[in-house]
Amino acid sequence: MLVSLPEPLPPMLATLGEVPTGEQWAFEWKWDGVRAVVGSSGDRVRVHSRNLRDITATYPELSRLGGLVAGTALLDGELVTLDELGRPDFGRLQSRMHVASPTAALLRDYPVCYYVFDLLRLDGADLLDLPYQHRRQRLARLELNHPPLLRTPDHYTNTSGADLLDVAAEYGLEGVVAKRLDSAYRPGTRSRNWIKTPLRLTQEVVIGGWTPGQRRRAGMLGSLLLGAHDDTGALVYIGHVGTGFSDAALRDMQARLRPLRRESSPFGTEVPRDRARQATWVDPVLVGEVEHRQWTAEGRLRHPSWRGLRTDKRPHEVRLPR
């Protein structure tokens, strides 16, 4: 009898914070990729992004998971692409994220790996209310370790999260995530029961406009004007970014922005005059991510660098940090 694939769920999200202490916490590595919820039943597999967009066709190699996962399961994890040292490389993943039907060459040169860290449903049983430590035990029994395509990375208990953060820095990883051993899984909720501590600060941003380039970039895009939503839903201007782009990325961004042009600023707060005077405003529908050093006292990004578009995120999900 044909068993239905489990319905996808929006993933539970971690809160930004310092590494917690105490025996009630487990620690995982923070992976530099994109979140993916995978449903598997027999030889059928379906992959959804954080906002429940079906991305199965974008990552066709994941169809092989059907032969590796016993029974019917709903998994939560991270899609990553590895560098030559075996570390997740978000820049390499960018080559795959926006391609609906990847070529054989793209699949060969930029293969993805699925790192599984939670089990939400198994053979019709809902596991959401089980404590994290019990879900991890159930996940371990599935033995989902088939590199390079599929891995269940280790989690650590009775250890120092601060020491693990030092190890992450030494090996070029993104940081650590702490999870309470007794925490239930709450789909679509950002919870203090999960705390992420990145080594590099990143911020999701909404693009609200752009300014022209100068010198070498004359006639091209110079910088993007960035925003994030406050608690009222207003789009707050948080700065501009002009570094971190390859020439190909600049051309691609200009092509995406051209049809989005509008006459007025989409920001609910004032944009500095020197930026607004040169700005071409656009509808705030494209989401990206920047890396930055810190926030200024004025609520602006200090020294941001572009990391790439985030097609797995929706504009209304981009919020100011609390």
Q: Decide if 13-198 and 201-317 have a common fold.
A: no
pLDDT greater than 60 at residue 1 = no
What pLDDT sits at residue 2?
A: 59
Q: Would you give the distance in Å from CA 228 to the centre of its chain?
A: 16
Active site residue 179: no
The residue-averaged pLDDT of 195-215 equals 91
- Does domain 13-198 correspond to CATH entry 3.30.470.30? yes
Provide the pLDDT confidence category of residue 4 given band limits of 50, 70 and 90.
confident
Domain boundaries, the chain: 13-198, 201-317
Express each pLDDT in 228-284 by its tens digit.
999 999 999 999 999 998 888 888 999 999 999 999 999 999 999 999 999 999 999
Task: Report whether pLDDT(211) > 60.
Answer: yes
Catalytic residue among 30, 179, 196, 313: 30
Q: For residue 19, count other CB atoms closer than 10 A to its CB.
A: 19
E-only strand ranges, 127-244 = 150-151, 156-157, 175-180, 190-198, 201-212, 221-229, 235-241
Report the topology of domain 201-317.
Answer: OB fold (Dihydrolipoamide Acetyltransferase, E2P) (2.40.50)
**pLDDT at res. 67:** 85
C-alpha span between 270 and 287 (Å, rounded): 20
User: How far is the CA of 262 from the CAs of 54, 163, 228, 229, 280, in angstroms?
Assistant: 30, 50, 19, 19, 8
Residue range 301-312: mean pLDDT, rounded: 91
Q: How is residue 130 annotated by DSSP?
A: S
